[in-house]
């Protein structure tokens, strides 16, 4: 493999209105530097964050001519000097923050997000630090492995690392996107009690097949916190994965059981929202800000999902030439689980 060889890669081109245009380009295949590996990317997956970036709505604007997407999986095809963690042929997935390996993040870690500050995974070949990858579960296809870096790790940290979920916990999942579906699967595997909200009865039926013990159609039940309490015998939710943001946070907080935990993750209804300190004090409640997680979190999650044989829910797989359609699928909100691009 030499730099004279070419590959296909997507980049974001900034428009006058502040949004971006996806462009498929021919680019040289990069050569791995010291402690880097060259990965032939076989699949990448999208998150809601990627739509915000494309539309110029993400709080942290991307750098110019960015290769998008944080999530991808493939095989190692070349090694730079000094690499010890991987060999050619290893099957790997990217980690979201390339320099957040374990413990608490620092400013350097937060400036190392793929598909934001750093070029991402929507490219046939990428060079990444050997520290910025994990081995993927053995039984997973590349498409399945590509779904893990952002949504699955976020759900894991919200429920397990920060929430300390245990068997019997009532776990509230908002919607049926990537984070919520992984949260449902993790909760069911941990013998917790998942409760799912959606405006679609078909999606709620799918959630029940995945292990939800109760479902709530929020379009028919706008004050759904009361329905959560009814479904839990008046107790409420011990864990909430709050992906909605400002518009759903009041209902999520009203759903919490005494001693409960809300993981603040997303902004589907707008970023932000007020956290009432008095309510937290009175109920012994905990609120955590969750921005994906570390490599150590990813590896701990992989061990759990292999042990419990959890398989990602993939809504649809697109070819690289149909990348815009994949973005539109996410933006339209009709998907369940994850949307994947095959490279």
| pLDDT tens figures, 2-16 | 556 889 999 988 887
Whole-angstrom Cα distance, residue 178 to residue 312? 9
Chain segment 276-323, per-residue pLDDT in tens: 888 888 899 999 999 999 999 999 999 999 999 999 999 999 999 999
- When the candidates are 3.40.50.720, 3.60.130.10, 3.20.10.10, 3.90.1150.200, the CATH number that belongs to 163-289 is 3.40.50.720
pLDDT at residue number 149: 98
Q: What is the mean pLDDT of the chain?
A: 94
In the beta sheet, which residues pair with residue 13? 21
Q: Which CATH class for the 6-151+293-342 domain?
A: alpha beta
DSSP-derived letter for residue 318 is E
Give the chain's radius of gyration (CA, Å). 20
Map tokens 């799912």 to a residue: 196
Chain segment 113-161, per-residue pLDDT in tens: 999 989 999 999 999 999 999 999 999 999 999 999 999 999 999 999 9
CA atoms within 13 A on the CB side of 299: 11
> In this structure, are strands 125-129 and 36-45 parallel, antiparallel, or unpaired?
antiparallel
Question: What is the pLDDT averaged over residues 219-234?
Answer: 96
Whole-angstrom Cα distance, residue 182 to residue 162? 16
**Given a cut of 80, is residue 192 above it in pLDDT?**
yes
Q: What sections of the chain are H helices per DSSP? A: 48-54, 107-110, 142-145, 153-156, 178-189, 201-209, 224-231, 249-255, 277-283, 295-307, 323-332
Whole-angstrom Cα distance, residue 296 to residue 131? 11
pLDDT at residue number 308: 98
**Given a cut of 80, is residue 272 above it in pLDDT?**
no
**Domain spans, the chain:** 6-151+293-342, 163-289
pLDDT at residue number 256: 97
In the beta sheet, which residues pair with residue 341? 44, 318
- pLDDT bin (cut points 50, 70, 90) of residue 275 is confident
pLDDT at residue number 17: 85
pLDDT at residue number 4: 63
What pTM value is reported for the model?
A: 0.95
Chain segment 37-92, per-residue pLDDT in tens: 999 999 999 999 999 999 888 877 777 789 999 999 999 999 999 999 999 999 99
DSSP string, 322-343: GHHHHHHHHHHT---SEEEEE-
First-to-last alpha carbon distance for the chain, in angstroms, is: 18
Q: Which helix (H) or strand (E) holds 2?
A: none
SS3 97: strand
- Per the CB < 8 A criterion, the answer to whether 93 and 70 are in contact is no
SS3 40: strand
- pLDDT bin (cut points 50, 70, 90) of residue 253 is very high
Angle at the Cα of 337 from the Cα atoms of 223 and 94, rounded to 5 degrees: 125
For the ranges 54-63, 233-242, 308-317, 331-340, the lowest mean pLDDT is seen at 54-63
The pair of three-digit structure tokens given for residue 183, joined into one six-digit string: 């949260």
**Given a cut of 70, is residue 1 above it in pLDDT?**
no
Map tokens 């815009």 to a residue: 324
Whole-angstrom Cα distance, residue 238 to residue 219? 23
User: In degrees rounded to 5, what are phi and psi of residue 224?
Assistant: -75, -10
């Amino acid at each position: 493999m030499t730099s004279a060889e070419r590959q296909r890669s997507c980049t974001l081109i900034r428009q006058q209105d502040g949004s971006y245009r996806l462009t498929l380009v021919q680019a040289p295949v990069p050569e791995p530097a010291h402690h880097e590996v060259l990965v032939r990317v076989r699949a990448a997956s999208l998150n809601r964050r990627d739509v915000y970036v494309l539309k110029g709505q993400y709080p942290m604007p991307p750098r110019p001519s960015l290769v998008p997407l944080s999530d991808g999986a493939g095989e190692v095809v070349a090694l730079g000097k000094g690499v010890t963690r991987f060999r050619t042929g290893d099957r790997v997935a990217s980690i979201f923050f390339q320099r957040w390996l374990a413990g608490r993040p620092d400013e350097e870690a937060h400036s190392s997000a793929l598909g934001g500050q750093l070029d991402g995974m929507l490219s046939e070949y990428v060079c990444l630090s050997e520290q910025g990858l994990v081995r993927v579960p053995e039984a997973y296809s590349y498409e399945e492995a590509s779904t893990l870096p952002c949504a699955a790790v976020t759900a894991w940290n919200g429920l397990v690392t920060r929430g300390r979920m245990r068997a019997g916990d009532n776990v509230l999942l908002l919607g049926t996107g990537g984070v919520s579906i992984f949260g449902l699967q993790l909760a069911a595997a941990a013998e917790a009690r998942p409760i799912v909200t959606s405006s679609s009865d078909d999606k709620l039926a799918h959630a029940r097949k995945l292990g939800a013990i109760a479902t709530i159609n929020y379009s028919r039940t706008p004050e759904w916190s009361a329905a959560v309490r009814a479904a839990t015998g008046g107790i409420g939710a011990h864990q909430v994965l709050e992906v909605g943001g400002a518009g759903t946070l009041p209902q999520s907080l009203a759903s919490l059981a005494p001693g409960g935990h809300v993981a603040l993750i997303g902004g589907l209804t707008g970023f932000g929202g007020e956290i009432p300190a008095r309510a937290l004090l009175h109920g012994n409640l905990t609120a955590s800000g969750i921005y994906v997680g570390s490599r150590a979190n990813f590896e701990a999650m992989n061990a759990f999902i292999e042990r419990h044989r959890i398989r990602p829910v993939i809504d649809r797989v697109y070819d690289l030439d149909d990348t815009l359609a994949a973005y539109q699928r996410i933006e339209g909100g009709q998907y369940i689980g994850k949307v994947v691009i095959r490279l």
